[in-house]
Amino acid sequence: MSIQIKDEFRVSPFLVLFLVHGTQYGIGVLSFQRDVASIVGHDAWISVIITGVILHLLIWMMYSMLNKDKGDLITINQHTFGKWIGNLLSIFIIIFILSHTITVLRSYIEIVQVWMFPLLKTWPFALVILLAVYYIVTSGFRVVTGVSFLSVVLPFYLVFTFFVPIEFSNFRNLLPVFDHSFVEMARSIKTTALSFSGIEHILFFYPFIQKPESSQKWAHYGNLLTTSLYLLIMVVTLVFFEHEYLNSVIWPTLMLWKIIELPIVERFEIIGVTSWAVVMIPIICVMFWSASRGIKEIFKVKQKKALVLLLFICFMISCFLTEREMIQQFNKWQSEVSFFILLIYIPILFVCYHIRYKLRRKG
């Protein structure tokens, strides 16, 4: 049974590029290099390429199910595993999305507190951001998509800043190539799962796309753009920093921005952190929209009520995460769950759905 959405609530297929890239290219850009390089060192750029290829395969799997079902994740789970088990799995995905939202929000607030305002309290900043998110999400999916479009276009100038450190880099840091085992490469791919996470929201907003079958190529383009930017940032980081120093840096991207000097700006990293708010808020909006939409379909409640509940939970947990160790442990747990969702759950769902689909057609 397909989900029918009025055309005035749908968006053009090409905007899927900005929805996919906008949800992937988030807070992980500022710190993912150290986590990956701590496992595979100078081969970390290979992990980025492999992860990008795997995500292209996962996008193909999701569209293969969605194009047949004409629904979303909730209906696919119900048609595959039955109403009760399917809804339980959908609730688990919604909890994952909520925890991912908390990770993005709290990690960004921590960066602002460390680099800009050390005395800033968590709760007022979180409250302001979540109020803005409430206004955007309640305005509808088209507004959420528009904000995601702006989040990609407006701060795109920051990409050119990553070419500045090349002048002071040593490309011999990339040698020797393929110097790590298969097990180490697999562990590094698992580490990058959280940074690349975001494509799973296609399973929620698919019915809100005009001619959704034609949007698959734009989803692949969005993932390709994300992979290319992550690869650029990873290579620049590896050739600029020595491996021992990189392991001791919490936010390598911000350290890259520290070397940029402008006549009117003494600390360019402040500009980068401020600009990243434009990147971060739409990600949170898409996540809250997906989670509240899922709750609406499962429990048959108004999406606005579900959104208020999710915002309150996110606000309380974000304020509870006060220490650096707590935030880091929460992010580590979230990375483990992201790996499970992307590389285990979606392929299993793909196989089970097509088995049930063939059985239904034979029946």
87: domain CATH number?
Answer: 1.20.1740.10
User: Under a CB-based contact definition with an 8 Å cutoff, are residues 330 and 318 in contact?
Assistant: no
> C-alpha angle 308/212/204, rounded to 5°?
25
271 assigned to some structural domain: yes
115-140 mean pLDDT: 95
pLDDT digit string, tens, across residues 207-228 = 999 999 999 999 999 999 999 9
Tell me the pLDDT band of 340, cut-offs 50, 70 and 90. very high
Residue type, 281: I
254's CB contacts (< 8 A; 6+ apart) are: 30, 111, 115, 269, 272, 273
As a residue count, the chain comes to 363
- The pLDDT value recorded for residue 136 is 97
> Cα 84 to chain center, whole Å?
28
130-155 mean pLDDT: 96
- Contacts of 157-162 with CB under 8 Å at 24 or more apart are 158/272, 158/275, 159/229, 159/232, 161/256, 161/257, 161/260, 161/268, 161/272, 162/232, 162/233, 162/236, 162/256
316's CB contacts (< 8 A; 6+ apart) are: none
Total domain count, the chain: 1
131 assigned to some structural domain: yes
User: Under a CB-based contact definition with an 8 Å cutoff, are residues 224 and 21 in contact?
Assistant: no
Where do we find the tokens 């509808």? Answer: 140
195 assigned to some structural domain: yes
> Cα 61 to chain center, whole Å?
18
- The pLDDT value recorded for residue 231 is 96
The burial of 245, by beta-carbon neighbours within 10 Å (0-12 exposed, 13-18 middle, 19 or more buried), is given as exposed
Tell me the pLDDT band of 170, cut-offs 50, 70 and 90. very high
Tell me the HSE value of 22 on the side-chain side, using a 13 A CA sphere. 31
Whether 232 shows a pLDDT value over 60: the answer reads yes
304-333 mean pLDDT: 93
258-284 mean pLDDT: 88
Where do we find the tokens 């940032």? Answer: 233
Q: Which residues on adjacent β-strands are paired with residue 11?
A: 209
pLDDT digit string, tens, across residues 115-127 = 999 999 999 999 9
Whether 261 shows a pLDDT value over 90: the answer reads no
28 assigned to some structural domain: yes
Tell me the pLDDT band of 1, cut-offs 50, 70 and 90. low
Neighbours of 176 (CB within 10 A): 9
363 assigned to some structural domain: no
Q: Which residues on adjacent β-strands are paired with residue 262?
A: 265
Poorest-pLDDT segment among 84-98, 120-134, 302-316, 327-341: 327-341
User: Under a CB-based contact definition with an 8 Å cutoff, are residues 52 and 204 in contact?
Assistant: no
153 assigned to some structural domain: yes
166 assigned to some structural domain: yes
> C-alpha angle 68/73/77, rounded to 5°?
85
CA atoms of 173 and 148, how far apart (whole Å): 36
CA atoms of 60 and 66, how far apart (whole Å): 10
- The pLDDT value recorded for residue 61 is 97
146's CB contacts (< 8 A; 6+ apart) are: none
Inter-CA distances, 44 with 128, 177, 253, 350, Å: 37, 10, 15, 29
Tell me the pLDDT band of 363, cut-offs 50, 70 and 90. low
- Contacts of 91-96 with CB under 8 Å at 24 or more apart are 91/294, 91/298, 93/200, 93/294, 93/341, 93/345, 94/290, 94/291, 94/294, 94/295, 96/337, 96/338, 96/341
Where do we find the tokens 């606000």? Answer: 315
- The pLDDT value recorded for residue 352 is 96
359 assigned to some structural domain: no
240-269 mean pLDDT: 88
pLDDT digit string, tens, across residues 76-110 = 999 999 999 999 999 999 999 999 999 999 999 99
Where do we find the tokens 């029946």? Answer: 363
Residue numbers of the domain that contains 169: 7-354
CA atoms of 100 and 200, how far apart (whole Å): 12
The burial of 150, by beta-carbon neighbours within 10 Å (0-12 exposed, 13-18 middle, 19 or more buried), is given as middle
Mean pLDDT across the chain, nearest whole number? 93
Closest CA to 80 of 349, 363, 291: 349
